[in-house]
Amino acid sequence: MIVRAVPLDEVGAELGMAVFAALSDGTGIAPANHGQKALRALRKAQRALARKTRGSTNRRKAVRRIARIQMRVADARKDFLHKHSTIIAKTHGVVGVEALPVRSLSASATGTAAEPGRRVRQKAGLNRAILDQGWGLFRTMLADKVADRGGRLVEVPAAYTSQTCACCDHVEAANRPSQAVFVCGRCGRRANADTNAATNILRRADSALKPVERHRAQAAQ
């Protein structure tokens, strides 16, 4: 553990679709969408595979081609996640994130439609995996890297972070007139919606830590 004379900044991070992550300091990480770019190549390779004869050399080659595309996406994604989790962990001692199971973000893509054929389902699973933004892995990396530097990742309740005014605490669905904009119905605060949510996450992380900090201060006296 590294002991620092000056504590590092605290930051809240909202993980989402429009940006990969929005930080409470107003910065954002653009989504890399590695899978999106590879999806066409993957679908083409899957169609080619479907035309190959079972047990043939060409079929094996087609299977390998699909595996290569998936590996390329996974590697690029991992690089991206490592790069950005390192940047955040280097400059922040406390990182707040929503205690949202990442699974639920992609749950709608799973759907509940009547079970299609097995191979179709496998294929859909692969395509879904390739579109995964990697938030789960990102949180794990962040937690590890922040902890390595003596800080911590704080998970906070996710409820209403996007509908709450980070300025006056007013909560209302109408505070969020669009995906991108936050306008408070009470104090009139206007902000980037993701930044506002990230600020609420930071505030919750901060208040979650307060009792601990007070305890530490008392212990130090």
Q: Which residues bind Zn ion (CB under 5 A)?
A: 165, 167-168, 170, 184, 186-187, 189
Burial class (CB in 10 A: 0-12, 13-18, 19+), 55: exposed
Phi/psi for 130 (5° steps) reads -75, -25
Nearer to Zn ion, 138 or 182 (CB): 182
153 - beta bridge partners?
Answer: 95
- Residue 8 is classified by DSSP as P
Q: How far is the CB of 161 from Zn ion (least distance, A)?
A: 14
Q: How far is the CB of 198 from Zn ion (least distance, A)?
A: 16
Q: How far is the CB of 174 from Zn ion (least distance, A)?
A: 12
∠ CA 158-159-165, rounded to 5° = 100
Nearer to Zn ion, 76 or 167 (CB): 167
Separation CA 135–CA 210 (nearest Å): 27
22 - beta bridge partners?
Answer: 14, 28
Query: HSE-up of 177 (CA within 13 Å, CB side)?
Result: 10
Q: Inter-axis angle of helices 57-91 and 118-131, to 10 degrees? A: 30
Q: How far is the CB of 11 from Zn ion (least distance, A)?
A: 21
Nearer to Zn ion, 49 or 171 (CB): 171
Nearer to Zn ion, 168 or 180 (CB): 168
Output the six-digit token pair for 99.
Answer: 């205690």
Q: How far is the CB of 187 from Zn ion (least distance, A)?
A: 3
Rounded CA Rg of the chain: 22
Q: How far is the CB of 159 from Zn ion (least distance, A)?
A: 18
Nearer to Zn ion, 85 or 163 (CB): 163
Nearer to Zn ion, 76 or 191 (CB): 191
Please choose, from the candidates 85, 72, 78, the residue with its C-alpha nearest in 3D space to the C-alpha of residue 21.
Answer: 85
